[in-house]
Amino acid sequence: MSIAGSDNINAREGRYRYFIESVIAWEGVWGLYDKGWLLCPGNDGTRYCPFFASHDHADAWNEIAQTGYVPTAITLVELTENLLPDLARNRIEPGISPTGDDGPILPGHLALHDDLMAALKKSITG
């Protein structure tokens, strides 16, 4: 693997870790909403629903993408108990922190849920 490829993987891992830590600290995520959650086409024919660690991140990406959707808060409970299972049933991937230069991180429904629950447990138990 090239150094540039390694740097990209490290950047994505850092972005994902930042997302998880921010979500647990704030107990929520941000999505883009307008009579339904924004769904985007993935590179491999899948669809994803973008999620962001903050309003500012959602707003910045939305400004570039010009979707017309509005950054909207989603509680951690709503995300884990309702939205992720609904996305899984409809074969829509959770798309973590897409940027203008790089697509979303697609950890999968179960992995995202498990990572969030592990981070929540760690934050509670110290």
pLDDT one-digit tens code per residue, 12-65: 899 999 999 999 999 999 999 999 999 999 878 889 999 999 999 999 999 999
pLDDT in the model for residue 45:
85
CA angle at residue 44 from 64 to 22, to 5 degrees? 50
SS (H, E, C) 9-23: HHHHHHHHHHHHHHH
pLDDT one-digit tens code per residue, 77-97: 999 999 999 999 999 999 999
Answering whether pTM is above 0.95, one says: no
Beta strand 40-41 with 47-51: parallel, antiparallel or unpaired? antiparallel
What tokens were used for 124? 């509670």
Contact at 8 Å (CB) between 18 and 117? no
Q: What is the dihedral of CA 25, 113, 68, 101, to 10 degrees?
A: 80
Looking at the DSSP bridge assignments, the partners of residue 93 are 48
pLDDT in the model for residue 94:
98
pLDDT in the model for residue 7:
65
Domain made up of 3-125: CATH architecture: 3-Layer(aba) Sandwich (3.40)
Per domain, the residue ranges of the chain are 3-125
Pairwise CA distance, residues 6 & 69, whole Å: 34
pLDDT in the model for residue 67:
94
